[in-house]
Amino acid sequence: MATAEQKLHLTEFTNEPFIDFSKPENRKRMEDALKKVKSEFGREYPMWLGGQKVTTPSKRNSTNPSRPAEVIGIFQNATADMAKQAVEAANKYFDTWKKVPAQERVKSLFRAAQMVRERKFELNALVCYEVGKTWVEADADIAETIDFCEFYGREMLRLAEPQKLTPMRGERNYLVYIPLGVGVVVPPWNFPCAIMAGLVVASLVTGNTVVLKPASDSPTIAAKFIDILYEAGVPKEAVNFITGSGGAVGDTLVTHAKTRYVGFTGSKEVGLRISEFGSSGPCWRWVARTRLWSMRKRTLIRPWKERWRRRLAIKGRSARPAREPLFPRRFTTRSCKNSSTAQKRSPSGRATIPATTWGR
């Protein structure tokens, strides 16, 4: 049977070559691109929530760091309610997007890579203006963006194929990779296109839906890339684009109960804050939530502890002492499907340290 890679007639992955600016024709094209991009300064960009354009009365500007008086783009200032709407919309469309065949999702990435390749000089110019990179640095950023689209597409085709497993007599086993749900992408400004695009396309090609909140200093290049994804065939409902302050929008996105994971690159301060949100509170369904292991008392405290005790009381059974395993065996064998942790047992039957399961 023909594999997905054979059907698409793929060549082996190679890195996107850099532009040689020592050639006069390339310098001329770059200078023309800089002029064209500058002519578009001050354009307003909408947000995309649930496939619809959204604007707000309050605006925020993206400026040229070398000339702060130059406004690169005008963006919307989203509220916390809009951030919730973005996650809800992405979660609603997840059931549709995850059923799209891997080959179709991969084709969208390859089309996006070709579009970025064709518009390389313009995107280079935009990176130069918005974050102050040199021509060579901007070109490397855009080349890496193309690499991410090409490489992740090929990897998805490999992961979508039947996976080899060690055969066991009397058993028929399968290994299948599944998408998780809504991914919140929070990229940095210093690689305004490459890291942002890499986090977005990796999520999309694997069947997840995305809520992208670009860095406050580089939203224009993110908006341009999102437009390219839409042109390449990615449904508008699969990628939500939202701009606003980190306090109002960012915190709401990462703490939403339907956010399944966060793709983040940035400062230590923000990273620790996101990590704290993920380890406490009703968020990140597939990540270990409020969990405290006491080696002294061998007690596992979980968010649903009281719920299980109430369930026992309803059936007329007494709740077990805290020193004994909290869940009966039939519950722990299912816990890897319904929660982020599965309780291991020693041969004696006593509870041991919980083993974290990631999306199993």
Q: What is the pLDDT of residues 220-254, one digit of tens each?
A: 999 999 999 999 999 999 999 999 988 889 889 99
Q: What is the mean predicted confidence (pLDDT) over 37-42?
A: 96
Q: Choose the weakest-confidence range: 100-104, 271-275, 348-352.
A: 348-352
pLDDT value at residue 289 = 37
Residue that wins the pLDDT comparison between 284 and 21: 21
pLDDT tier, 285 (very low <50, low <70, confident <90, very high otherwise)? low
Q: Rounded to the nearest 10 degrees, how much is the dihedral formed by the CA atoms of 138, 140, 143, 144?
A: -110
- Report the percent of the chain where pLDDT is more than 90: 66
Q: What is the mean predicted confidence (pLDDT) over 120-147?
A: 98
Written in H, E and C, the secondary structure of 315-359 is CCCCCCCCCCCCCCHHHHCCHHHHCCEECCECCCCCECCCEECCC
- Report the percent of the chain where pLDDT is more than 70: 75
Distance CA 269, CA 279 (A): 16
Pairing of strands 182-186, 259-264: parallel
Contacts of 286 (CB under 8 A, 6+ apart): 180, 181, 260, 261, 340, 358, 359
Backbone Cα Rg of the chain: 24
Cα angle 228, 191, 37; round to 5: 50
Distance CA 283, CA 153 (A): 29
Closest CA to 44 of 36, 31, 53: 53
Q: What is the mean predicted confidence (pLDDT) over 49-68?
A: 96
pLDDT value at residue 268 = 87
Q: What is the mean predicted confidence (pLDDT) over 316-320?
A: 46
Q: What is the mean predicted confidence (pLDDT) over 270-288?
A: 68
pLDDT value at residue 322 = 42
Q: What is the mean predicted confidence (pLDDT) over 146-151?
A: 98
pLDDT value at residue 351 = 40
pLDDT tier, 309 (very low <50, low <70, confident <90, very high otherwise)? low
Q: Choose the weakest-confidence range: 20-34, 73-87, 162-176, 323-337.
A: 323-337
Given a cut of 80, is residue 215 above it in pLDDT? yes
Q: Which amino acid is at 84?
A: K
pLDDT value at residue 292 = 34
Given a cut of 50, is residue 90 above it in pLDDT? yes
Contact 215, 189 (CB under 8 A): yes
Q: What is the mean predicted confidence (pLDDT) over 77-105?
A: 97
- From the number of C-beta atoms within 10 Å of its C-beta (0-12, 13-18, 19+), residue 292 rates as exposed
Average pLDDT value over all residues in the chain? 82
Q: What is the mean predicted confidence (pLDDT) over 123-131?
A: 98
Domains of the chain, CATH where assigned: 27-162+179-279 (3.40.605.10), 292-356 (no CATH)
pLDDT value at residue 266 = 87
pLDDT tier, 75 (very low <50, low <70, confident <90, very high otherwise)? very high
Contact 352, 344 (CB under 8 A): yes
Question: Roughly what angle, to the nearest 10 degrees, separates helices 194-205 and 219-231?
Answer: 40
Distance CA 262, CA 260 (A): 7
pLDDT tier, 277 (very low <50, low <70, confident <90, very high otherwise)? confident
| CA distance readout (Å), 40 to 102, 115, 129, 224, 251 | 36, 19, 12, 12, 32
pLDDT value at residue 353 = 37
Residue that wins the pLDDT comparison between 292 and 308: 308
Contact 80, 248 (CB under 8 A): yes
Given a cut of 50, is residue 339 above it in pLDDT? no
- Considering the entire predicted model, what is its pTM? 0.77
